[in-house]
Amino acid sequence: MAYLWRIATSVGLDQAKRDLRRASDMHVPLDGVELVAPDVERQLEARDELRRIERAVQAMRPRTRAIFLAHRVDGMSYAEIAQACGIGVKGVEKQMSRAIAILAHELDQADNG
């Protein structure tokens, strides 16, 4: 049984690594993104918020980041992610909760700091 668990975990991690590489290939540097806002101050605020989000995503554990990006960027359902990673839907929910908590913490720190 432990052997099967190890195989499933390896397959899930391999998928997470592939998802991360794919997301990295689609990465666009923030300086290359044209922001549309009514004034320069609002543009700078939007760019700062994007940097905070990017920093928070990079701070996530690889598996958490891959699951978060698969759902939020690739539009995969929790069930699809669970199957691809070899974990249960509850495991995907747990990873998404972690990702959202990291994002919330980063954005809250920026607002209070």
Encoded amino acid at 21, one letter: R
Cα–Cα distance, 101 to 95 (Å, whole number): 10
Q: Which structure tokens are listed for 79?
A: 């069930």
How large is the angle between the packed helices 2-25 and 78-85, nearest 10 degrees?
120
Q: What is the pLDDT of residues 83-102, one digit of tens each?
A: 998 999 999 999 999 999 99
Query: What local confidence, expressed as pLDDT, does residue 99 receive?
Result: 93
Per-residue pLDDT, averaged over 41-56, amounts to 81
Sorted by where each begins, the domain ranges of the chain are 42-112
Sign of CA dihedral 89, 94, 98, 101: positive
d(CA 24, CA 62): 12
42-112: CATH architecture: Orthogonal Bundle (1.10)
